[in-house]
């Protein structure tokens, strides 16, 4: 198996996508941040001193997706048509799902992954004063079938 970001001599390179057609592409990525029950309660009841953790994490994830090419050295700078970040309180933490759509000659999975990861990091930052035992786990992506992606509200 060859890696597309390495040339014949094994040096890093940006993949040439200039001959590929622009098509609609979408991706979903998720992350989970595990936290203590008391931390979840503070989020649920809106009692964190830093404010609405979900609103801040959602905006941070969307902003991060838009700057992915600045963060990942060999990632193409693409025009993003849509990004959503959904957060779901669960028994042991928060599940984050990011979705992204573009019409480009390369995929958008890195943008979805970046959105999910930065949303999780933002939640960590918002909650670290009350819970230093949080863990960010299971950052992963999957492509999505062609369809309109809508953002759920928390």
What's the chain's average pLDDT? 89
**Across 122-127, average pLDDT:** 97
Residues near 134 by beta carbon (within 8 Å), at least 6 away in sequence: 33, 34, 35, 36, 39, 93, 123, 124, 127, 128
**Residue 105 to residue 17: CA distance in whole angstroms:** 6
Q: Assess if residue 8 is contained within a domain.
A: no
Which residues have a catalytic role annotated? 125
Q: Assess if residue 17 is contained within a domain.
A: no
Q: 25-29, 72-76, 90-94, 120-124: which range is least confident on average?
A: 72-76
Please state, as a whole number, how many other Cβ atoms lie within 10 Å of the Cβ of residue 80: 18
- Distances in Å between the Cα of 111 and the Cα atoms of 61, 114, 120, 132 are 9, 5, 14, 28
**Residue 154 to residue 147: CA distance in whole angstroms:** 22
CATH number at residue 139: 3.30.70.640
Q: Assess if residue 99 is contained within a domain.
A: yes
Tokens at residue 91, please? 């028994």
What's the structural domain count of the chain?
1
Q: Assess if residue 110 is contained within a domain.
A: yes
pLDDT tens readout for residues 4-25: 776 777 777 777 788 888 999 9
Whether the predicted pLDDT of 154 surpasses 50: no
Between 10 and 27, the higher pLDDT residue: 27
Q: Assess if residue 4 is contained within a domain.
A: no
Q: What per-residue confidence (pLDDT) applies to 150? A: 40
Whether the predicted pLDDT of 117 surpasses 80: yes
Whether the predicted pLDDT of 152 surpasses 50: no
Tokens at residue 68, please? 């992915």
Q: Assess if residue 37 is contained within a domain.
A: yes
Q: 43-47, 87-91, 106-110, 111-115: which range is least confident on average?
A: 106-110
Place of tokens 């000659």: 105
Q: Give the structural domain span for 27.
A: 23-143
């Amino acid at each position: 198996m060859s890696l597309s970001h390495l040339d014949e001599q094994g040096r890093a390179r940006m993949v040439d996508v200039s001959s590929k057609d622009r098509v609609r592409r979408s991706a979903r990525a998720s992350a989970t941040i595990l936290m203590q029950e008391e931390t979840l309660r503070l989020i649920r009841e809106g009692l964190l001193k830093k404010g609405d953790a979900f609103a801040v994490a959602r905006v941070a994830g969307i902003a991060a997706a838009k700057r992915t090419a600045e963060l990942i050295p060999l990632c193409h700078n693409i025009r993003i048509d849509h990004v959503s970040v959904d957060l779901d309180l669960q028994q042991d933490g928060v599940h984050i799902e990011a979705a992204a759509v573009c019409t480009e000659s390369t995929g958008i999975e890195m943008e979805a992954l970046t959105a999910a990861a930065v949303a999780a990091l933002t939640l960590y930052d918002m909650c670290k004063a009350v819970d230093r035992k949080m863990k960010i786990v299971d950052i992963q992506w999957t492509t999505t079938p062609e369809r309109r992606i809508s953002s759920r509200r928390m």
